[in-house]
Structure 1
Amino acid sequence: MKRSSRLLSLLVLSLSVLLAGCGSASRKSVDQYDFGPLPDAGVAGATMPSSLPAIVIPDVTGPAWLDTQTMVYRLNYADPLQARPYTASRWSATPLQLITQRLKSRIAQSGARVLSTTDASAGELLLRIEVDDFSHTFDSNQQNVGSVVLRASLFDGRKFLDQKTFVRKTPSTSADAAGGVRALAASTDAVAADIMAWISSLPLRRP
């Protein structure tokens, strides 16, 4: 009886190890992405006049599906209303966090003084950003872009100055998550340059 019990225990243990190994082998790794390093200042695009007041940039806002690390693509030719997740790829932070940090970094890189809401004093310029779309979009099997659509509102203290919607769609080099990431990063950088050009064109007060 003791020998039978030992054999049964060894058999159960061996089966458990085998099942655990199979589970580990079948579990797919998940690739994590962000926007990568900033481009060199010389090729970053628009610059901001150093005479502008400091700009306060609160965290970017947007729909709930952009407040997760899920990476989304859309098949516009099949069903444009369905947001589909990439199961083996995800963002290293939420898209809203990534966009916030990228915009702050690009605007600061251009020569502007960028402040957070906790560091700001009354009467500073305030730039609010609302994101409407941030997805890898397929118009056909062959054509896909990184689509960024956002709305920027500029205030001088509590005084509303102007508002503008920015749209950028950068063609992807490949029809997969990695290609979508590169296209979305490029679109975000292009929108940052568009925002800087827009702010620079406004008749703002000088400190």
Structure 2
Amino acid sequence: MNTIKNIAASAYQSSAGGIFGLIFALGAFGLAGCSALPEPPSRPVMYDFGPGPMQTAPSDRRAPLPALALAEVDAPGLPDGSNAVLYRLAYADAQQLRPYALARWSQPPAQLLQQRLREHLGQRRAVLKADDGAAQVRDATQGGNLPPVLRVEVEEFSHTFTSAAESVGLLRLRATVVDLTPAGEALRGQRVFIVRTPARSADAAGGVAALAEASTQAAKEVSEWVEQVAAPRP
């Protein structure tokens, strides 16, 4: 308030056109005040893994594989329910996951990974939801047994910087295949998959692209592994 009074007094006394000086001074003060106001924050950019297959795949002449039940992907290594795009400075503070301020996944990463897994697993077999009634239907190709269940846990899903200039999309997940028997679950196999995909840029967009590529590669590797461990038993 004192600043406005001082500007007004000096403008009035400086010349015969004091009133015009006063108006000019007050206008200038108002413009300066407006320019100092903070700009509204930008909206976060939303990312996913891309559109997936753009056309129907050619018919596979091989015999279809037995049905598989896919459980909901769990993500114990990520913040619960978070859609944040996370990065890690492995060269400086490897124990800290940090969120990009203006980047978000369109869904929690576990759901995006579930979709990518279903796409690859479903190329030669029926993929059922583990909690669906259809998954409790006994499969004739499995000797009348229930279909095996695939469980996946995401342990790491981050844009990881190995140095200030180099980074990768790092995905580590644990896959487990079990049979459902009257006596309980019987383990068929378990394996940890680690995929590192170089990022093209050291920002959120580069990290997202690398993680999407790593997820596609991991889904392919899991599908090939499941084909071996979930093969029909004689």
Q: Shared topology, TM-score over 0.5?
A: yes
Letter in 2 for 1:52: L
Q: Deviations over 1:139-177 (max 9, x none)?
A: 001210000000000112232100000000000111111
Identity between Structure 1 and Structure 2 (%): 37
Q: Which one has the largest radius of gyration? A: 2
User: Which of residues 107, 114, 120 is equivalent to 2:135?
Assistant: 120
Aligned to 1:151: 174
- Deviation of 1:58 after TM superposition, in Å, equals 1.1
Deviation at 1:116, TM superposition (A): 0.8
Asked if structure 2 preserves the Cα contact closer than 8 Å seen for 1:51 and 1:206, the reply is no
Establish whether residue 59 from structure 1 lines up as the match of residue 72 from structure 2.
yes
Q: Which runs of 5+ in 2 are unaligned?
A: 1-29, 138-145
Q: Match of 1:121, as an amino acid?
A: Q
Q: Specify the alignment match of 1:169 in structure 2.
A: 196
Q: Does 1:36 align with 2:59?
A: no
Give the distance between the partners of 2:189 and 2:116, measured in 1 at CA: 22
Count, aligned residues? 183
TM-score (norm 2): 0.71
Larger RCO (CA within 8 A; separation ≥ 6): 1
Query: Paired residue for 1:140?
Result: 163
Q: Could you list the runs of 5+ residues in structure 1 that have no partner in the other structure?
A: 1-14
Secondary structure of 1:154's counterpart equals strand
CA contact (8 A) 2:188 2:230 kept: no
- What TM-score do the two structures reach when normalised by structure 1? 0.80
Task: Find 1:86's aligned residue among 91, 96, 100.
Answer: 100
Q: Hey, what's the Cα distance between the residues in 2 that align with 1:57 and 1:182?
A: 25
Q: 1:99 aligns with which of 113, 118, 125?
A: 113
Structure 2 distance, partners of 1:203, 1:103, is 15
Q: Where does residue 72 of structure 1 map in the other structure? A: 86
CA distance in 2 between partners of 1:136 and 1:185 (Å)? 11
Q: Distance in 2 between matches of 1:40 and 1:186?
A: 16
Following TM superposition, by how much is the alpha carbon of 1:35 offset from its aligned partner in structure 2, in angstroms? 0.4
